[in-house]
Every structure is written in C-alpha cells, then in structure tokens.
Amino acid sequence: MPTLFEIPLKTIAGQPTTLEPFKGHVLLIVNTASKCGLTPQYEGLEKLYETYKHCGFDVLGFPSNDFAGQEPGSSEEIQNFCTTSFNITFPLFEKVVVTGPEKAPLYQELTAAQPVAKVADPEFKNKLRGYGLTVHEAPELTWNFEKFLVNRRGEVVARFAPDTLPTDPALVQAIERELPPLDGGANTNA
C-alpha cells in the first residue's frame, strides 16, 4: 500500500504529481467548493497558509463536486475563481471524489486514518438536513471544507468538520502543535 506521499494526484493544471513535494511539511488537506455557503473559508485558509508557510506548513485544496453540485466548474474555472475572488496562493489540485464507492485513494486513506471529525457545532449536520441536504455519516465526509491535519511524518493527526472555521482556536492550536514555535525554539512534535 502506498504512503500518503506516493498516492497519484493531479495538480489543478492537470499535471501528474503526488504529495512527495510536501514531505516533511505539516499539511491541512481540505475539500473545497466554489458555490457553497462555506466558500468564504477560502479567505481564512489563505490567511493560515500565509501565516505558517515559512514554518513548513501547507494548505492543500482538493475541489470536489460531491455535495449538492457546489463545485461544477472546470479546473480552469476553479483556479480563476480562487485567484480572483480570494487571492488563493496555496496549492490546488484537480477535482476529486471524496465520498462513496468512487472515493479518491487520498480520501480513502484520510478517512481510514481519521474516521470521525471534531465538530465546532454539534447541530451542524441537523442544520444541513434542515436545508433538505443529504448528510453522510462517518467515516464519510459531512460536507465541503472538511479539514485533515497531517504531521511531518505523513500521519493524519486530526480531522475537523466543515463548520470548523480556519480561525477556530482548536484548529489553530492543532496546527501550531505540529509546527516549530514561531520564536524558533524546539518542538518535540516536529
């Protein structure tokens, strides 16, 4: 079985790649969508990336059209939207399937490693259902903008539900635990 870093992927430009270029970095892997009520999270994700990228941290966006058709665009349209609407500079990848029997190998590994997400609002799933939306149960992703935190060794150490904002203290603290302190001191988790 390949490691997380060996799974074949494609960049948003359609170029074959893997996560190998990010080996040794702390990663926040997020399934994204351009037409979702949570789409404004792009702004916070970019801010996280800008704040911590100098410490070896990357946000990796994986567009998905799995939830209510909220990412219908082509790769070019997605890239253009992210650049012009949110000034996204973190890496984006080609659209993938993140739920069900056709789930991309990367998401098979992520959900197997962390089958349950930490939720910010215990009523989030009920709110989605209130809009008449189909909500998947664990280990499947709940919705767009679910976040997986991967440490420098490639281990999936946390999973956050879509309603966890990029500014949520629990998410920020989890990221900081995996990074060297900003003052340059030692971190036993690195």
Which option is the CATH number for 4-178: 3.10.20.30, 3.30.70.920, 3.40.30.10, 3.30.70.100? 3.40.30.10
> Tens digit of pLDDT for each residue in 84-139?
999 999 999 999 999 999 999 999 999 999 999 999 999 999 999 999 998 998 99
pLDDT band at 2 (very low <50, low <70, confident <90, very high): low
> Tens digit of pLDDT for each residue in 10-47?
999 999 999 999 999 999 999 999 999 999 999 999 99
pLDDT band at 1 (very low <50, low <70, confident <90, very high): low
At residue 189, the pLDDT reads 47
At residue 181, the pLDDT reads 56
Closest CA to 44 of 151, 128, 182, 164: 164
> Tens digit of pLDDT for each residue in 161-182?
999 999 999 999 999 999 975 4
Other Cβ atoms closer than 10 A to 173: 9
Residue 156 has pLDDT above 50, yes or no: yes
Q: Edge-to-edge strands of the sheet including 57-63?
A: 57-63, 26-32, 147-150, 156-160
Sequence ranges of the domains in the chain:
4-178
At residue 126, the pLDDT reads 93
3-class secondary structure for the chain? CCCHHHCCEEECCCCEECCHHHCCCEEEEEEECCCCCCCCHHHHHHHHHHHHHHHCEEEEEEECCCCCCCCCCCHHHHHHHHHHHHCCCCCEECCCCCCCCCCCHHHHHHHHHCCCCECCCCCHHHHHHHCCCCCCCCCCCCCCCCEEEECCCCCEEEEECCCCCCCCHHHHHHHHHHCCCCCCCCCCCC
Residue 190 has pLDDT above 70, yes or no: no
At residue 180, the pLDDT reads 73
Catalytic residue among 36, 78, 104, 156: 36
- The residue-averaged pLDDT of 55-82 equals 96
Residue 82 designated active-site? no
Handedness of CA 24, 27, 31, 35 (dihedral sign): negative
